[in-house]
Amino acid sequence: MSSAGLRNEAKLRGDIRYFTGKPCIRNHISERLVSSGGCLVCAKEKIAMLRKKRTPEQLDVDHLKSRIRSAEWRINNPDHENTKLAKLRYKKFNIDKTNAGTAKRRAEKLKRTPKWLSADDFWMIGEAYAIAALRTKMFGFSWHVDHIIPLQGKDVSGLHVPLNLQVIPWIDNVSKSNKFKELR
């Protein structure tokens, strides 16, 4: 199939990337972006080059713009503090859906917990949860035990093992969702 055909097919599926197996102008054989048809490696190199060119003054301006956007969002969304309450209300009035989701996650966790784990591994997993609870008490905001490679990821699924766990602030965990960021 031609490159255009693969791109159109990916667009119809709602994908953001597709793979042709053919090299780009700079000889990269990598995925391409559906939006532009451009090579993903070339796009990453271009972004890295633009970031390096930014002066400290530009960084300060960007930081200030970001703070202004955040302040505007908080002004335009005065109820953002109530989202936790809204979630609790939802759980209370939709207990069947909440329980179904919890059971599904628990079952997935059990399927992703290998039989070869030792008692030490289970101890380490328990310690991760203890550290999260301790940090929550110490810092005054919630900390979560996160699976670096998600248990129910779209592209890749990890295991419930100590090396796949990290203790991170809840906001980072919630924003990450079921996504896996490749480490380089």
| pLDDT tens per residue, range 138-171 | 888 888 888 888 877 777 778 888 898 899 888 8
Model-level pTM? 0.44
pLDDT at 14 (0 to 100): 80
Q: Does residue 184 carry a pLDDT above 60? A: no
User: Which residues make Cβ contacts (< 8 Å) with residue 132, sequence separation at least 6?
Assistant: 143, 144, 145, 167
Q: Tell me the C-alpha distance between 184 and 172, whole Å.
A: 19
Q: Tell me the C-alpha distance between 139 and 143, whole Å.
A: 9
Q: pLDDT-based confidence at 183, cuts 50/70/90?
A: low
Mean pLDDT of 110-134: 86
Are the beta carbons of 132 and 106 closer than 8 angstroms?
Answer: no
pLDDT at 64 (0 to 100): 92
Place of tokens 């048809």: 37
Percent of the chain, pLDDT > 70?
95
Higher model confidence: residue 130 or residue 104? 130
Q: pLDDT-based confidence at 182, cuts 50/70/90?
A: low
SS3 39: strand
Q: Does residue 109 carry a pLDDT above 90? A: no
Place of tokens 């995925």: 31
pLDDT digits (tens, 9 = 90+) for 7-49: 888 888 888 888 888 888 899 888 888 888 889 899 889 888 8
Mean pLDDT of 72-91: 80
Q: Out of 65-74, 128-137, 168-177, pick the least confident.
A: 168-177
